[in-house]
A and B are shown apart, each in its own frame.
Chain A
């Protein structure tokens, strides 16, 4: 059975997820989607009929991302510096839409990766806790605790809490 045609309808959602992972960097996000789709095509024979194409593609996208981040773990933190400056200009703003949005993007980028990916998969991609656990290869309880910590931390950052040092060491590829 040809599942190839089932990929295209999911591309916009993969792009949304990738865009959030890369804090709005369009080029980096689309590079990620491109790589993920190529990998998905090369592994299409591994896709189980009847399972969720969306979750499968998100799993691949996430794993490609983890590999990219791991190999680039010493990359310059340029985006975050930019966002620091943005944040300095908009710390007191909480009601104006544009500034709130800008703050959220920054706050998200400052979450530990393991919390951020759960916040995005559940909060943006609307995966169930079970689906999220499958994508990440962890237990549902782990998803819930990371979600809880992630959302709490996000709220703190949005309320102007001091910025913690971002830690990439929690990244684990599951496949």
Chain B
């Protein structure tokens, strides 16, 4: 049997995906029978589809992480709350220890808040505590930058560099040593001419590099990522775009 019109890739896909009626199925099968090259190509594409399932179907058997299950267990709002506020509210719950007592400013948008990263949470806490400090925001000032870098590199056990944020108008104020879950962490603070401050919180971190992730509290936005051997949290009371632009300055690409 020879179909009147030739069978194209879309027909083959529709056949593979169960989108054809019986008549069309017969036409495609006849075509494949008569066209071994198309049949071989079809078999390869179908094998890709099977391989896709082999690759990701194991996820279906995994336990659902606690963080996700908890969301579904939270009591539902009794009256309709505008979209965004409810998301913000759950974020507020998680950050209550950090954010209690501060003025609530309108924060809405489609930005995801990756709230379950305790590391970012601690860094935001440190930012909030120290960036608002007028007299002693840092332990070692920018005038002793070399000493600062040597000292913090030694304490973190890995080479730490002070990022150059001049391109975005921020200059170094200085840095300090902090405890991050009983491990040393470094906090670098920067300021622009308008007096806005951003901090870069760094700790030693082995493992796989990650993409940039966003966290947000009412007080500040943060971007965090792992670029082994260090993990970074960039925090500031800035918009996401501006913060991501700064993060891009800090990020050290792997050798290409």
Contacts and interface: CB of A to CB of B under 8 A. Distances in A.
Indicate, yes or no, whether A interacts with B: yes
Interface of A: 4, 7-8, 11-13, 15-16, 19-20, 25, 27-28, 30-35, 37-39, 41-45, 64, 67-68, 71-72, 74-76, 78-79, 81-82, 97, 100-101, 104-105, 108, 119-120, 122-124, 128-129, 144-145, 147-148, 151-152, 154-155, 158
Contact of A129 (B14, B54, B60, B69): B14
B6 to A, nearest CB: 14
A67 B112 contact: yes
Given A35-B112, A147-B13, A148-B8, 6 more contacts: A12-B64, A30-B67, A32-B112, A68-B112, A123-B52, A145-B10
Contacts of B90: 38
Nearest to B51: A104
20 contacts: A11-B64, A11-B68, A15-B62, A19-B59, A34-B68, A37-B68, A38-B71, A38-B86, A38-B90, A64-B110, A71-B111, A72-B211, A75-B212, A104-B48, A104-B52, A104-B55, A148-B8, A151-B48, A152-B9, A155-B41
- The listed residue with most B CB atoms (<10 A of its CB), out of A7, A68, A81, A123, is A123
Provide the main secondary structure of the chain A interface: helix
Contact of B60 (A13, A64, A74, A100): A13
Interface residues of B, number: 62
Interface stretch (B24-32, B76-84, B174-182): B76-84
A78 B254 CA distance: 8
B62 to A, nearest CB: 7
Given A19-B56, A28-B211, A75-B212, A64 B112 contact: yes
B47 to A, nearest CB: 9
Contacts of A108: 52
B19 A128 contact: yes
B17 interface: yes
A123 B44 CA distance: 14
A25 B53 contact: no
- The listed residue with most A CB atoms (<10 A of its CB), out of B45, B53, B56, B69, is B56
B53 A74 contact: no
A35 B213 contact: no
Nearest to A140: B19
Contact of B214 (A71, A82, A147): A71
A3 to B, nearest CB: 11
Contacts of B254: 78, 81
A16 B59 contact: yes
B71 A34 contact: yes
Contacts of B213: 28, 31
B211 A78 contact: yes
Contacts of B84: 42
A72 B253 CA distance: 16
Interface in B226-245: 227, 240-241, 244-245
B112 A31 contact: yes
Contacts of A81: 254, 256
A4 to B, nearest CB: 6
Interface string B92-108: 00000000000000000
A74 B246 CA distance: 11
A67 B72 contact: no
